[in-house]
Amino acid sequence: MIKLFEATSFENTRVMITDAGRVDVESHGLRRLDPVQRNSAARDAVVRFLHVAPGHQGRDFHSLLESRFGQFEGDLFTPDDIRRATAYLAQKRMADVDEIDEWHWWTPRLTDLGIDCAEHFGGSVADYLSHNEGKVANMTVNFHGPVTGSNVAWSSREITQAVRASTGLAGDELAALIGAIKQALPVLGLTEDESTRLRGQLEVAEGELESEEPDAGAIKSVLKRVVTKIDDVATTSLGVLLTAYAKHLMEKAGVPLA
């Protein structure tokens, strides 16, 4: 971050910022100007501050701003930052808010949901909501094929499934499966890079299926890589279901993945 030049005494010490240090300073400034990051940080700060406050209740803006939670990237939060954050937490039922008369009065209380956020997610509101509300809301995944109800259900409030029997060709069912996997990628516990890479591979398989003479070997190769990756890193039962169904359809198509 800095380059320190040797000196015979502290008074003669010379210091110069390096390129890495300059980049770090500038990145802090850019983050301070980003309203998305600032709003998210303000919500986290309110949860963390209220969690350590007596009775999990605030008193005034000054008490938060003067605490270790009162800054974002070295810049003090404003009362408006805290007001917006508190209103958001109240909307999500993570805090109870009586009223805010003047700018310095601020007396919200954390609810049990807010306490859970602080104690189980380190006060990260985004992580807490992602875990409890699902990363993709109201997503419908359709499976066309012999999937029974006993192996379809999993614990998610935000994802719905429609299972419909199909007597079409295995190729049609594979196309539907590939579409379902692409739609489910955001909720399989994959990183963004992994999801992007798998999506590209699936699109290659889709293109092959749409050709007049699909290359079964190419489709098998793509799906084998995709299924293996989901098996390795997916953290949801949806991933288990998709991989099992993929193996079933590939076997039905005469190109088993095993």
Q: What is the pLDDT of residues 241-250, one digit of tens each?
A: 777 777 777 7
Average pLDDT rounded to a whole number, residues 121-144: 72
Nearest CA to 236 out of 179, 162, 155 is that of 155
For residue 142, give both structure tokens: 């359709």
Q: How far apart, in whole angstroms, are the C-alpha atoms of residue 257 and residue 42?
A: 49
Domain co-membership, 144 together with 125: no
Question: Is residue 230 scored above 70 in pLDDT?
Answer: yes
Q: What is the pTM of this model?
A: 0.47
- The answer on pLDDT for 232 being more than 80 is no
Would residue 15 count as lying in a domain? no
Same domain, 153 and 240: yes
The count of structural domains within the chain is: 2
In a shared domain, residues 39 and 112:
yes
Q: How confident is residue 144, by pLDDT bands cut at 50, 70 and 90? A: low
Torsion sign (Cα): 128, 132, 138, 139: positive
How far apart CA 42 and CA 61 sit, in angstroms, is: 12
More confident residue, 43 or 24: 43
- Buried/exposed 198-234: b ≥16 CB within 10 Å, e otherwise: beebbeebbebbeeeebeeeebbbbbbebbebbeeeb
Query: Which of residues 74, 99, 132 is at a domain's end?
Result: 132
Q: How confident is the model at residue 220 (pLDDT cuts 50, 70, 90)?
A: confident
User: For residue 53, is it within any domain?
Assistant: yes
- Specify the higher pLDDT residue, 73 or 188: 73
pLDDT digits (tens, 9 = 90+) for 99-130: 654 555 788 999 999 999 999 999 999 999 98
Check whether residue 121 and residue 148 sit in a common domain. Answer: no
9 assigned to some structural domain: no
211 and 178 in a single domain? The answer is: yes
What is the span of the domain harbouring residue 235? 137-252
Does 258 reside within a domain? no
Looking at 10-14, 56-60, 144-148, 199-203, which range is the least confident one? 144-148
Lowest mean pLDDT among 20-29, 111-120, 140-149, 199-208: 140-149
